Amino acid sequence: MSSRIAGSTLLRHLGPRLFFSAAAARAPTAGEPACSLLLSGSASLAPARSPAAVLVRLFPVRMTSTTAAQAFGGEQEGEAKPPAASREATAVPPSERKAVASYWGIQPSKIIKEDGTPWRWSCFMPWETYKADTSIDLKKHHVPATLLDKLAYWMVKALRVPTDIFFQRRYGCRAMMLETVAAVPGMVGGMFLHLRSLRRFEQSGGWIRALLEEAENERMHLMTFMEVAQPRWYERALVIAVQGVFFNAYFLGYLVSPKFAHRVTGYLEEEAIHSYTEFLRDLEAGEIDNVPAPAIAIDYWRLPADATLKDVVMVVRADEAHHRDVNHFASDIHYRGMELKDIPAPLGYH
């Protein structure tokens, strides 16, 4: 009995939505109840409605660029279209279209460069740009002393062999592949420290920001080299595979031993310095064209307007040297039996 009452209640509420067009096609005669059209065969006199249109009637939605019916497959044949005048009246005026790009009605401030020209990038802001310290020691090397250090060192050396075989001296594509891997450790380490800080209700000593800045900086390296060389389809497939394997392996490594994970990253950065040094040698020898620097690199590193690819490689190599020092420093803190929050993070470079 309760189910029969519930069914009649549901039909009473949904009936007008489901069968409105059928009732509108034939008005009820005097003495004929309007609801009889819902069950009679005369509903077929109305234009056929697709299931999508029925769903639109049941669950009306609002879209930003299309009507609800178009979102499910366009305007249905036989349905009445609004006149052109009403369509123009309902069109969004330019002032309101402009407000769509604002932050909840607050217009963003116009950002300009120091020379007065508009800022062209949305992936980073002028206050996030910097001048790389190219005077940093590039030959510094952490000599592996413990078993974990030796394991990290030879693991990185082993990973270099297939990379050399695959890319050989195609340093543009090699740099892109390198940066897709190098941007992972900072994100994983920052994520771990972020979650630990939440669990323990404690500060991180600035290390969350330092590691996330490292990951963002490595990603900007990738965005820069994407302007220099475009990867082939199989190189993109290789990036997907390597990232999937490396992220999970590094995640587990950091979970088991943060000092080992940071040491691996430190040695990876040492290999990156070596790769970019070889890149510079080929540029200076003329084996690689020293093309003008991408615009994104000129703004990000505050390079001169006439900067070249050689200048870009030099500042990227300096960044890698800084990441090398940060990660070896983090590993040394763990080796001393302390946590990263006990020693202030080396902030201020980026």
Give the separation between CA 76 and CA 69, rounded to whole angstroms: 8
Question: 118-161 pLDDT, tens per residue?
Answer: 888 888 888 899 999 999 999 999 999 999 999 999 999 998 88
Inter-residue contact 275 to 92 (CB < 8 Å): no
- pLDDT of 115 reads 79
Give the separation between CA 102 and CA 120, rounded to whole angstroms: 17
The structure tokens listed for 265 are 């990253």
Question: 67-93 pLDDT, tens per residue?
Answer: 333 433 344 444 444 444 444 445 555
* CA distance to 94, 110, 130, 178, 267, per residue, from 159 (Å): 55, 46, 32, 11, 11
Burial 131-145 (b: 16+ CB within 10 A, else e): ebeeebebeeebeee
Burial 161-173 (b: 16+ CB within 10 A, else e): eebeeebeeebbb
Q: State the sign of the Cα–Cα–Cα–Cα dihedral 234, 239, 240, 245.
A: positive
Quick one: pLDDT band at residue 26, thresholds 50, 70, 90? very low
Give the CA-trace dihedral at 163, 226, 277, 312, to 10 degrees: -170
pLDDT of 51 strictly over 60: no
Quick one: pLDDT band at residue 236, thresholds 50, 70, 90? confident
Radius of gyration (C-alpha) of the chain in whole angstroms: 31
Domains of the chain: 152-342 (1.20.1260.140)
- pLDDT of 122 reads 85
Structure-model confidence comparison of residues 1 and 264, the more confident one: 264
- pLDDT of 102 reads 66
Structure-model confidence comparison of residues 115 and 96, the more confident one: 115
- Which among 35-44, 47-56, 115-124, 127-136 has the top mean pLDDT? 127-136
Structure-model confidence comparison of residues 234 and 333, the more confident one: 333
pTM: 0.69
Average pLDDT along the chain = 78
Give the CA-trace dihedral at 74, 79, 85, 86, to 10 degrees: -80
The structure tokens listed for 246 are 């490396």
CA 30 to chain centroid, in Å, comes to: 64
- pLDDT of 226 reads 87
| CA neighbor of 282 nearest in space, from 179, 177, 174 | 174
Quick one: pLDDT band at residue 21, thresholds 50, 70, 90? very low
pLDDT of 276 strictly over 60: yes
3-class state of residue 46 by DSSP? coil
Inter-residue contact 96 to 88 (CB < 8 Å): no
Question: 165-206 pLDDT, tens per residue?
Answer: 888 778 778 888 889 899 999 999 999 999 999 999 999 999
Angle of helix 258-285 versus helix 233-256 axis, rounded to 10: 150
pLDDT of 334 strictly over 90: yes
DSSP state of 40: S
